[in-house]
């Protein structure tokens, strides 16, 4: 097994010093291979050493300007530091250079969400949802974005799918409650707010909404 694969295994086991040693040796033995720099960059980003990680990803891009995963790594570095515009630019480059993976589309969509460009986020979250139909976080964020864009019926379908994947998803219940209110179905809304609170008694939004619905029903 090559040193990059061994380094990734050590990184997954949280043996970071050993991963550093293996990645360093891999780079010394193959200084023109961008994968060594990308893997080292991923490790540094994981350790929150963002400035060093950025340098390694940029080194990988110098070696291979088409290295899509290096752009994705840089996107993560900027995203973690809440530099969403720069993150967006690099995730977009990763996708344009062929990284057609759920995580790339999802992260690109989330950069738009953080900048409150929900319409721009939607196609990327849709693609992520298509590529990863069993990923709860991706499906939930896609459903939320649909609702924010006024696609209520589709949002309802996706939120119900989230509950099929994870029955105890309080936020999916809360959002189904909001959709119930939007459809003027107070009983369905109340049911979902109650379910959200049963799962998470600290769910303040659900508690507030439940109180409002009960007050309206008692009038």
Does residue 141 lie within any of the structural domains? no
Does residue 68 lie within any of the structural domains? yes
Q: What is the CATH number of the domain that holds 78?
A: 1.25.40.10
pTM to 2 decimal places: 0.91
Residue (of 56, 29, 25) closest to 40 by Cα position: 56
Q: Is 116 left (phi over 0), alpha (psi -120 to 50) or beta?
A: left
Alpha carbon separation from 20 to 8, 34, 57, 85, 187 (Å, rounded): 10, 16, 15, 30, 57
Does residue 56 lie within any of the structural domains? yes
The span from the CA of 146 to the CA of 81, in Å, is: 26
Q: Which domain holds residue 74?
A: 1-83
Does residue 106 lie within any of the structural domains? no
Does residue 109 lie within any of the structural domains? no
Contact 162, 143 (CB under 8 A): yes
**Neighbour count for residue 140 (Cβ, 10 Å):** 22
The span from the CA of 145 to the CA of 142, in Å, is: 5
**Neighbour count for residue 167 (Cβ, 10 Å):** 11
Alpha carbon separation from 94 to 69, 124, 199 (Å, rounded): 6, 13, 38
Q: Does residue 205 register a pLDDT over 70? A: yes
Q: What is the pLDDT of residue 217?
A: 84
**Token code pair at residue 86:** 């720069």
Q: What are the pLDDT digits (tens) for 13-36?
A: 988 888 989 989 999 999 999 999
Give the pLDDT band (50/70/90) at residue 173: very high
Q: What is the pLDDT of residue 216?
A: 86
Give the pLDDT band (50/70/90) at residue 116: very high
Does residue 213 lie within any of the structural domains? no
Our count of domains for the chain comes to: 1
Of all residues in the chain, what percent carry a pLDDT higher than 90?
A: 85
Q: What are the pLDDT digits (tens) for 123-169?
A: 999 999 999 999 999 999 999 999 999 999 999 999 999 999 999 99
Give the pLDDT band (50/70/90) at residue 1: low
**What are the φ/ψ torsions at residue 177 (nearest 5 degrees)?**
-65, -45
Q: Does residue 103 register a pLDDT over 90? A: yes
Does residue 32 lie within any of the structural domains? yes
Q: What is the pLDDT of residue 68?
A: 97
Does residue 42 lie within any of the structural domains? yes
Give the pLDDT band (50/70/90) at residue 3: confident
């Amino acid at each position: 097994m090559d040193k990059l694969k061994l380094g990734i295994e050590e990184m997954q086991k949280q043996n970071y010093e050993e991963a550093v040693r293996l990645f360093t040796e891999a780079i010394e033995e193959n200084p023109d291979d961008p994968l060594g720099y990308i893997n080292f960059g991923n490790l540094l980003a994981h350790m929150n050493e963002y400035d060093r990680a950025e340098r390694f990803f940029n080194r990988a891009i110098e070696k291979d300007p088409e290295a899509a995963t290096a752009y994705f790594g840089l996107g993560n570095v900027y995203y973690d530091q809440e530099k969403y515009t720069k993150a967006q630019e690099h995730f977009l480059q990763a996708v344009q250079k062929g990284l057609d993976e759920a995580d790339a589309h999802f992260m690109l969509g989330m950069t738009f969400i953080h900048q409150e460009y929900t319409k721009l986020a939607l196609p990327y979250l849709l693609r992520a949802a298509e590529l990863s139909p069993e990923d709860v976080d991706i499906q939930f964020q896609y459903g939320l974005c649909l609702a924010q864009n006024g696609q209520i019926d589709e949002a309802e379908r996706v939120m119900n799918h989230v509950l099929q994947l994870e029955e105890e998803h309080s936020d999916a219940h809360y959002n189904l409650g909001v959709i119930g209110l939007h459809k003027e179905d107070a009983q369905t809304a109340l049911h979902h707010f109650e379910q959200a609170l049963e799962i998470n008694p600290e769910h303040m939004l659900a508690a507030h909404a439940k109180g409002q619905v009960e007050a309206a029903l008692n009038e």
